[in-house]
Chain A
Amino acid sequence: MKKQLEDIGLVLSILLGVLLTYYLVRANIVSLTYGNIPLANLYLLSVPDPSSPFTSRSPEVVTSVVWDQRGYDTYFETSVLFLAIIGVLYAAGSSSLVEKGSLIATVIPRVITKLLFPVIIAVAISVALHGHLTPGGGFQGGSIFAVAPYMYLLIYGRSRLEGKGFRSNLLLFMRSLAVVLISLVGSIVLAIGFLTGVEAFLFQNQPKPPFSPIGFPAYIQLPWGGIFLFSGTLMILNVLEFTAVSTGFTLALIVIDSIAGGRE
């Protein structure tokens, strides 16, 4: 009965979201396109146009940007994912490292795992927190973070990882919370604009003077002098993305391990 109520609630909330979006767009309260934006026009006009020097000979602008205008970037994204999967398969597959059932791995991987665990987490948090200043960000930091619990899982088993607080339901809760907060941060400016009757956008960061006068603050003045630059939504969203990705990957790796028959 409770399960059915949950299902009905889920369907209703999705339906409500779709209808609300439809209403907001049709009533011209929010618009999905905004006037004449030069960069968008450049891509939309030149990518499909065979006579343009920037053409990709394709009507699909997003794919063209991903594989043509920024193809080199995409190549390395793909490589990173490929290497990550190879690493996980290698670690999970080498059953000589982790024998099922009995106490396993020699003292060397046990101690090195304990030593690297905090180092990986410190680096992951640094990468996530400085996403608006240096290469990296929430996704990259979260992916690095997931290596620490995964190593711990392979060497010490699931129950000791759970003893550290990496429990499935907590991870799932944190992940869901982070995703909800991301959508909340993305709609705050739009909501304020809607209430005060000014123009604003979904996922708006800084004010856009000719279009929208409101936005997030970019920095705070520190009491001991200097400023703390967090670039509006960028750092907030990076931290939330970091939470979502790190807990999500950790949860996925725990589930894969339990299906593949790893140690308790």
Chain B
Amino acid sequence: MRRILVVGLSIALVYLVYTGSLSVSEALISLVVGFAVASLIGGELVVDESKLSLKRFIEAVKYAFKYFTIIEYQAHYQVVKAILSRNPGLKPAIVEVPYDVNSEIAIVTIANSITNTPGTVVVDVDEEKKRFYVHWIFAEAFEGEGARKGVSAEFEEWAKRIFD
């Protein structure tokens, strides 16, 4: 029941933001739309209801803030420096990065965090062996803990705290 409430309110928020209006009638319509769609897909979106908590939500907000400011800045800076420098020091390779989270949404959070920072792109996932295959333009290690440390260690920590 709680998942329908959370998903319904989130969809209502999406509706209101897209519409760009805050009148009473719009708010009522947004709630109708939100809960109708939530009853259709809510059960699939929130797999484990017991994991819905305010603490995890606050962690997610903190991660979003840090990701879109500090982490993105650092990754962009590295790539911009390589583009402008006479000796960019590139070492492109596809590396095997292990991960240790269980829920699907956590895996996707890590994968999208890797892809969204310049310099690294996830090209494939092996869900049985729990490995990402990542194209990395400054490859420091090709597999194992070394690759995890260079590519996804911080994302994984956050993803665990938020979703696992």
Interface residues of A (CB under 8 A from B): 106-108, 110-112, 114-115, 117-119, 121-123, 125-126, 129-130, 164-165, 222, 224, 226, 228
Contacts and interface: CB of A to CB of B under 8 A. Distances in A.
Nearest to A111: B108
B87 interface: no
Given A108-B108, A108-B111, A110-B104, A118 B38 contact: yes
Interface in B12-30: 14-15, 18-19, 23-25, 29
Interface of B: 7, 11, 14-15, 18-19, 23-25, 29, 33-34, 37-38, 40-41, 44-45, 104-105, 107-108, 111-112, 122, 124-125, 127
Contacts, number: 67
B15 A126 contact: yes
Main secondary structure of the interface of A (DSSP, over half): helix
A111 B106 CA distance: 10
Contact of B41 (A117, A125, A129): A117
Contacts of A125: 15, 33
Contacts of A108: 107-108, 111-112, 122, 125
A119 B14 contact: yes
A72 B95 CA distance: 49
A104 to B, nearest CB: 12
27 contacts: A107-B127, A108-B112, A108-B125, A110-B104, A111-B108, A112-B108, A115-B45, A118-B11, A118-B14, A118-B40, A118-B45, A119-B11, A121-B11, A122-B11, A122-B14, A122-B18, A122-B37, A123-B14, A123-B15, A125-B15, A126-B15, A126-B18, A222-B24, A224-B24, A226-B23, A226-B24, A228-B25
A114 B38 CA distance: 11
Main secondary structure of the interface of B (DSSP, over half): helix
Contacts of A115: 45
Contacts of B104: 107, 110-111
Nearest to A226: B23
Contacts of B107: 107-108, 111
A164 B19 contact: no
A114 B105 CA distance: 10
Contacts of A226: 23-25
Nearest to B111: A108
A146 to B, nearest CB: 15
A58 B18 CA distance: 43
Nearest to A112: B108
A226 B105 CA distance: 43
B9 to A, nearest CB: 12
The 5 closest A-B pairs by CB, nearest first: A111-B108, A122-B15, A118-B37, A106-B125, A122-B14
A165 B14 CA distance: 23
B123 to A, nearest CB: 10
Contact of A130 (B19, B111, B127): B19
Contacts of B40: 118, 164-165
Given A122-B37, A125-B33, A130-B19, 17 more contacts: A106-B125, A108-B107, A108-B125, A110-B104, A111-B108, A114-B41, A115-B45, A118-B14, A118-B37, A118-B38, A118-B40, A119-B14, A121-B33, A122-B33, A129-B29, A164-B40, A226-B24
Contacts of B44: 114
Given A117-B41, A122-B11, A106 B25 contact: no
Contacts of B125: 106-108
A129 B111 CA distance: 36
Contacts of A121: 11, 33, 37
Contacts of A228: 25
Contacts of B111: 107-108
Which among A106, A107, A110, A126 has the greatest number of chain B C-beta atoms within 10 A?
A126
A10 B110 CA distance: 58
